[in-house]
Structure 1
Amino acid sequence: MPQAGWDDDALRFRPPPAVTLWVPVVVAFVVQVSAAIGISVWQDVPPPLAALSVALGAASALALVGARRWPGPTVAVVAALSTLDLFVPPDAGPVFLALAFAIIGAVVRGARLWALISVGLAWLVAVTASGLIGTPWHPFRIALATLGLAFLFAIGEGIRSRRQRGAEHRAQLVERRRTLEQEERTRIARELHDVLAHSLSQISVQSGVGLHLFDREPERAREALANIRSLSATGLDEVRGVLSFLRGDDLSAPRTAPLTPQPQLAELPRLAAQRTGLGLTVRIDDRLGGSAPAGEVQTAAYRIVQEALTNIVRHSAAATATVTLERHGGDFVVRIADDGTGLPEEAVEGGGIRGMRERALLVGGTVDVEPGPRAGTVVTARLPWQELP
């Protein structure tokens, strides 16, 4: 059951459902019953008629108990009881608050048609019967009562409209939160993929080579094991850095391990050195002339190169891979070309290529993956050049 509290979306206090149900019942009962008794005594109404007036006031108030579950029938019952009370002494009977609560509640809860038909028929019967069995009502009284009923309907429509706007606003906030959460999950997955995929794939390759050469060429096997140790240490440091960055930790605080959550272009030679070996040579062709784009563009470029080299190691039997960095007007162009057998279809359509495109899109760029002019694959990333401040 919903509890009372502050509505975070509407920034207002929402009382518990029991309060909104029973407060109208209690208020209408106390006002109508006490007023019927007082007016009957004041006008010296015969006891049977006074008792009937009190009973009608009590019954109409208690009928509001069903307003939440059956708003339509409730307003019909209260309208009928209110009409009957108009013709029961005392003439200046109490104001039927129950009818006001029933009309507003029915409109707010979606029983507008019930309210219109019930109140309209009750009002028509009251006006017609007043002329047939007694003195016709004064036109001013009819007009005032009609305006009062219309005002109650207007209040109900206003509350209903406000609730609908609030519900739509809350739905939009929920959808916005869901979208932000999904974007955050995607970002975390992308960061961890970028950090782990290249290290684990290289470790897998190195371990396979080490096992294959363990007996025949122990020195090369030892070299592979050393590379595995270096790659695992680097990967662990990068995972710690990414997790700290995602948690929003203070990166200026002293740590026991280096953190590298946002690699830059200056780290590409180290990446190339890690990839070089076991039949693959990675070269960096830097044509930027010492200039460099903004940090976020550098990070995107680094991650794209990292993923492209990982794909070459995993899927392409390449001997050489060349990473070219250059500037074409307002674009920072990063090209990774290899002379291998090319990427299989599942790799081109997989999460790695998609991650590269998402990286580029985040900074307003694009990534194209095409077959090489003679062999292999060419990955071209075009990122907007943004000068360092």
Structure 2
Amino acid sequence: MKAPDISKRGWVGDLVLAVIIAAVQVMGGRGANLGQTGVQSLDGLGYALLLAGPVALLFRRRAPMVVLLVVLAACTLYLSLGYGYGPIFLSLIAAFLTAATVGSRWWTYPIVPLGYLAFVWPVPSWFGHDTNGWQVFGLLAWMTVLVGIAEGIRQRRAVLDARRQRAAAARRDEEAQRARRAGEERLAIARELHDVLAHSLSLINVQSSVALELFDRKPEQAASALAAIKTASKEALAEVHTLLQTIRTGSVTEPVAEEPDSSVDEFSQRRMARAAAQEPPAEPRPAPRAPAPGIEDLDALLQRSRTAGLQVGTRVLGEPQKLPSVIDVAAARIIQESLTNVARHAPGADALVTVRYAAESVDITIDNTRPVGNQPRSGFSGGNGIVGMRERAHALGGALTAGPRPSGGFRVAARLPLRALDRAESATSGRPSAQDR
């Protein structure tokens, strides 16, 4: 709906301009013609030529170069027929400024010196028209100013176009960053939901299959499986509540503080500052109600899998050390997801979790043996467990591989670097890293 309004306003403006120039040219041309001697008296053709330029200006936005040529032809014919000098050049000025500001300089600017030669000096003197010094030098200076005005309008339009393009590019970049942050937040939430629910639900599914299979033949083992289901479901419910509380408080991924936009004027910055000062202070976010999992206490981390009937051994190599929380949580999630896959896809197999502490990284390996016996299988198939583990490792600058072992079974191996994270944290905080010290 905006385009017709803008076109209508432009057409009305052109009409008003044409009417004003027509009135000035007709009345001023008549007065100038009466005040000069030896000129052709104004007749119907003369008045038609005086009106031809203003009428052509009605189409100056659609075909500026054509309008300029039409107005130039009308002025040339008017003067060649011997009519007196007058304000007929007013429509020529308007047509030139329009064409020169929107068209090519190579086609419009040369018209100025050619018009000077044809209308001022020396061509008019060849046909007996007297020209004085004011006309020769004054009109030359005035035409130079006219070219300067046209160039100034072009430069101003170029600056405004550049500003609009930068503003549009900034808006597109802001929208792209907002979409990227939203995608990262969705990915983080999906990963957390998968890590919280997949492990518990897989164990519940496996144990429910065991309970159904052994309910009549071995009720004691079925009771143990039901107890494991109760424990796993209770812990999963608590973890879901904690995760939902974290999502509500917006602490899954913290927004990055952005620098103020330099393109915003000072008045707008002061207005936003006053608005921010009037807002009530935000309430402190409640702390999570359950601690995040970690590998500092492997036995506690593996308790749920062992309760579900999975035989899990542990081996720690190197000197245990306090890991950054993000690496500690990632390592725990990788171990939990790997054991979930063992329980889901290799029933009856034993697993071994190996944690190796090194100076530059922490290496985690989860091995499982071949599945044995005719154990009940879960109803799950497929999933994004390995993909999620690999994404989590890559996000920390590490790597993860998963595949069958030559001797049978399956292996998941992850390496989470410590120094890369240390350097990244020191770069954001301005403190030297441990390696630099």
Q: TM-score, normalised by structure 1?
A: 0.72
Aligned ranges 1:143-162 → 2 under 5 Å: 143-162=144-163
241-250 vs 197-206, which moves further: 241-250
Query: Is 1:90 the equivalent of 2:86?
Result: yes
CA deviation vs aligned residue, 1:97-155 (integer Å, no higher than 9, x gap): 46545654x4xxxxx5xx56874797698567644897698555554444544444444
Q: Which moved more, 1:116-125 or 1:374-383?
A: 116-125
* C-alpha distance in structure 1 between counterparts of 2:196 and 2:43, whole Å: 90
**TM-aligned CA deviation for residue 247 of structure 1:** 3.6
- Once the two structures are TM-superposed, the CA of residue 195 in structure 1 deviates from its matched residue by 1.5
Deviation of 1:324 after TM superposition, in Å, equals 2.3
Q: Which residue of 2 aligns with 1:70?
A: none
Per mean C-alpha deviation after superposition, the further-off stretch among 26-35 and 289-298 is 26-35
Q: How many Å separate the matches in 2 of 1:266 and 1:47?
A: 106
TM-score (norm 2): 0.65
Which residue of structure 2 aligns with residue 12 of structure 1? none
Q: Report the Cα offset of residue 94 of structure 1.
A: 3.1
Question: Tell me, what secondary structure is at the counterpart of 1:340?
Answer: coil
Q: How does 1:253-268 map to 2 (within 5 A)?
A: 259-260=289-290, 262-266=292-296, 268=298
Please tell me whether the aligned partners of residues 363 and 413 of structure 2 are also in contact (alpha carbons under 8 angstroms).
yes
Gaps of 5+ in 1: 2-15, 68-72, 107-111
Conserved? CA contact 1:238–1:261, under 8 Å: no
Instruction: Give the deviation of 1:313 after TM superposition.
Output: 1.2
1:56 maps to: 53
Aligned equivalent of 2:27: 41
Same amino acid, percent of matched pairs: 30
Looking at structure 2, the residues matched to 237 and 36 of structure 1 have their Cα atoms a distance apart, in angstroms, of 84
C-alpha spacing 1:315/1:153, structure 2 compared with 1 (3 Å): same
Change (3 A) 1:50 1:191: farther
Asked if the contact 1:371–1:378 (Cα under 8 Å) also holds between the matched residues in 2, the reply is yes
Q: Size of the alignment, in residue pairs?
A: 352
Residues 273 and 282 of structure 1 are in contact (CA less than 8 Å); yes or no, is this contact kept in structure 2?
A: no
Distance 1:309 1:188, change over 3 A: same
Relative to structure 1, is the Cα distance of residues 363 and 78 closer, same or farther in structure 2, using a 3 angstrom cutoff? Answer: same
Alignment of 1:185-224 (within 5 A): 185-224=186-225
Which of the residues 398, 405, 409 maps onto 1:376?
409
Query: What residue number does 2:433 align with?
Result: none
Alignment of 1:1-389 (within 5 A): 1=1, 17=3, 21-22=7-8, 24-38=10-24, 40-42=26-28, 44-45=30-31, 49=46, 53=50, 56-57=53-54, 59-60=56-57, 62-63=58-59, 67=61, 73-84=62-73, 86-87=75-76, 90-91=86-87, 93-94=89-90, 96-97=93-94, 100-101=97-98, 104=101, 106=102, 119=108, 126=115, 130=119, 131=123, 138=136, 139-140=140-141, 143-249=144-250, 259-260=289-290, 262-266=292-296, 268-277=298-307, 279-287=309-317, 291-340=321-370, 351-372=384-405, 374-385=407-418
Amino acid at match of 1:231: A
User: Alignment RMSD, CA only?
Assistant: 4.1
Match of residue 81 from structure 2? none
CA distance in 1 between partners of 2:95 and 2:330 (Å): 67
Whether the aligned pair in 2 keeps the contact of 1:318 and 1:338 (CA below 8 Å) is no
Q: Describe the shift of the 1:24–1:99 C-alpha distance in structure 2 as closer, same or farther (beyond 3 A).
A: farther
Give the counterpart letter for 2:417 in structure 1. P
Larger CA Rg, structure 1 vs 2 = 2
Residue segments in structure 2 that go unaligned for 5+ positions in a row = 32-41, 79-84, 253-283, 373-379, 427-437
The answer on whether the counterparts of 1:323 and 1:337 sit within 8 Å (CA) in structure 2 is yes
Cα distance in 2 for partners of 1:29, 1:118 equals 26
Relative to 1, partners in 2 of residues 1:326 and 1:281: Cα closer, same or farther, differing over 3 Å?
same
User: Residue type matched to 2:366 in 1?
Assistant: I
Q: Equivalent residue of 1:63, what SS?
A: coil
Change (3 A) 1:121 1:75: farther
| 203-212 or 156-165: bigger deviation | 156-165
Amino acid at match of 2:63: T
CA contact (8 A) 2:203 2:308 kept: no
Q: Over residues 152-194 of structure 1, what are the superposed CA-to-partner deviations in whole Å (9 max), with x where a residue is unaligned?
A: 4444444444444444444433433333333222222222211
263-272 or 314-323, larger mean C-alpha shift: 263-272
1:55, distance to aligned residue in structure 2 (A)? 6.2
